[in-house]
Chains A and B, each alone.
Chain A
Amino acid sequence: MPPQDNHTQKTNVKKMTLLALYTTIALTIFTLESLLPPLVPLPGIKLGLSNIVTLWLLMHTRARDALLVLTARIFLSSFFAGQMVSLMYSLAGGFFCFAAMTLLFRILGNRYVVFISIFGALFHNLGQIAVAVAITQLPSMLAYLPALAISGIATGTFTGLCAFYLKRHMPPRIAWPL
């Protein structure tokens, strides 16, 4: 480990604490959301509210930190739920969504967070369907894709608007005090 001066060490600790805090927030949102009964009886349709945290971190800090929080959230939530199969769906969906959103944030910038959230939700569904086809080896799983796309647009708009208004009303020194 390279020698670090006191200041960088302090920043690192601060940052780690902050990221842990955001992981807790994401995990709480995820757990509360999973208590809601599913509205439509199709696999993969849900609000995806914990994506607000990912969007939020992508707006304020480096993609690497957001990925860390996302990965921690996915692993912890599936440990608590005790489902190894759902871990694969979450990982595929989460990473597809994350890759698309990171790229779009680079191209478009923070102002377009609602659109980025919509495309993130669509890619999340795409990743999940890909895993479903791989696991069941039945291409007929693609029959769920149109319904998932429509729900992804609706829920993506909602989470995107949440992030948009949060950004507008929350002072940056509270959001990312580094």
Chain B
Amino acid sequence: MKFLKGLLYDKKALWLTFAVLAVFFAAAAAIWIQVRSSSEGKTAAIYQDGRLLRRIPLTDGTNESFKLKSSGGGYNTIRISDGKIGITAADCPDMLCVKMGMISSTGCPISCLPHKLVIQIEDAKEESPIDATTR
């Protein structure tokens, strides 16, 4: 392993390796907990500029598609079908929000950061939007 020579050579390097591994396993554990504790939510909440815009119940029958204008002049097309919600079209530069696909569980929210738009799934139990934003 000649190319590794000079990389792991002393105690300091060893401790730093442990520190990096600790961060790695902590992150992996956090993802595991996130995936395990996420449940199929019943309500989608759409936030823009830090305010709750809409709450949509995700029942199987709901089939809807609408365009949402952002304050900066852009748009996102949001689609709800088969109990899932997602962004199908947008004019942001990276299109990450579209690539994140359709979600139906409480784990990872969809965000379009250039348009300050976030869609997250919430349990139907949470009633007031104030609780939801300060949670």
Give the interface of A toward B (CB within 8 A).
38, 41-43, 81, 83, 85-86, 89, 108, 111-112, 114-115, 118, 122, 132, 135-141, 143-147, 149-150, 153, 164, 168
Contact = CB atoms under 8 A, between A and B. Distances in A.
Given A135-B116, A138-B118, A149 B27 contact: yes
B100 interface: yes
Nearest to A160: B7
Interface residues of B, number: 36
A83 B28 contact: no
B61 interface: no
Nearest to B108: A143
Contacts of A140: 109, 118, 120, 135
Given A85-B114, A115-B20, A153-B23, A38 B94 contact: yes
Contacts of B111: 43, 132, 136, 141
A115 B7 CA distance: 10
B20 A146 contact: no
What 10 pairs across the A-B complex have the smallest Cβ distances?
A: A137-B50, A41-B99, A146-B30, A149-B27, A146-B27, A115-B16, A146-B31, A41-B100, A150-B27, A85-B114
Contacts of A149: 23-24, 26-27
Nearest to A134: B50
B116 A136 contact: yes
Given A42-B100, A118-B20, A122-B23, A112 B13 contact: yes
B83 interface: no
Nearest to B25: A150
Contact of B120 (A43, A81, A138): A138
B118 A136 contact: yes
A2 to B, nearest CB: 42
A93 to B, nearest CB: 12
Contacts of B125: none
A36 to B, nearest CB: 12
